[in-house]
Amino acid sequence: MTNDNELTRAVVQVSGGGRGFVVALGPERVIITAAHCLPWEELPRPHLGRFVEEATFKLLGPLGRKPTVLAECKFVDLIADMAVLGKPDGQVFLDEEAAAFDELVDGVTPLAVGKAPAQESKTVTLSPELRFRRYAEAIAPARVLSLDGQWLDVTAKQVERARSSPSLRLTVEPATLIKGGMSGSPIIGPDGAAMAVISTGNFGPIILEALPAQMARALRRKRAARTSQRHDPG
């Protein structure tokens, strides 16, 4: 399991006072953050909901320092409040700018991305014509990084709901531990993997539910490979 120092080193500063964290998306290292940490005035106006487009911002830096590193926006969902940032395209930017991104992310251990606590479901029948699924509350121990760099023990919860699908976000309790400036930080599960991203208040989108299917599959494959390596007797 990743130790606290490695976890902290994987967290970076994002312009606007927020944070992000390094993960491995296939062979590429990227930053996951909350979409509201990006400079909204520079986002493409025709696609305020969800888009994948080349838009580059000088918005990354080591945790606690002024962002000076350029990153390319690879995915944004303003509704779920999730964004993915990657290395600037070498065809557009100078090699030094791409190298600065590599220097920021290559010296850390990328965070694994894990599943949120599973919600059990059952079919509720009110009448022969009216049926629905109820998803029970799911709770797991978790950790979040405070503003002063301490990992705090919290509880991550998916609330009970009666809908066609399980919850797509977690709540963190106690909510009083979540402060302004922690947005974009990972919510770490009991296995040391990031389950969700701190968003507004004590809510956070679940990573594997909020990302596009292709990105989510790449993260799942990476996790499956790590699990296989841990259990390989050789």
Q: What is the pLDDT of residues 67-102, one digit of tens each?
A: 888 888 889 898 899 999 998 875 555 677 888 899
Domains of the chain: which residue ranges? 4-106, 121-231
Which two structure tokens, joined as six digits, stand for 180? 């302004």
Which two structure tokens, joined as six digits, stand for 202? 């004590």
Sign of CA dihedral 58, 90, 45, 36: negative
- Residue 126: per-residue pLDDT: 65
Q: What's the rounded Cα separation, in Å, for the pair 70 and 9?
A: 19
Other C-beta atoms within 10 Å of 179: how many? 12
pTM for this entry: 0.84
* Interacting residues of 220 by C-beta distance below 8 A, sequence separation 6+: 208
Give the three-class secondary structure for 137.
coil
Which two structure tokens, joined as six digits, stand for 39? 């400079």
Question: Pairing mode, if any, of strands 169-173 and 138-145?
Answer: unpaired
Residues 157-173 pLDDT 10s: 887 666 656 678 889 99
Counting beta carbons within 10 angstroms of the beta carbon of residue 127, is it exposed (0 to 12), middle (13 to 18) or buried (19 or more)?
Answer: exposed
Q: Check if CATH label 2.60.40 holds for domain 4-106.
A: no
- Residue 232: per-residue pLDDT: 55
Buried b (16+ CB within 10 A) or exposed e, 136-166: eebebebbbbeeeeeeeebebbbeebeeeeb
- Mean pLDDT, the chain, whole residue set: 82
Q: What's the rounded Cα separation, in Å, for the pair 5 and 13?
A: 16
- Residue 178: per-residue pLDDT: 94
Other C-beta atoms within 10 Å of 52: how many? 14
Lowest average pLDDT, out of 47-51, 115-119, 185-189, 213-217, goes to 47-51
Sign of CA dihedral 189, 193, 198, 204: negative
Among residues of the chain, what percentage have pLDDT more than 90? Answer: 42
- Residue 231: per-residue pLDDT: 46
Q: What's the rounded Cα separation, in Å, for the pair 203 and 168?
A: 10
Lowest average pLDDT, out of 66-75, 116-125, 207-216, goes to 116-125
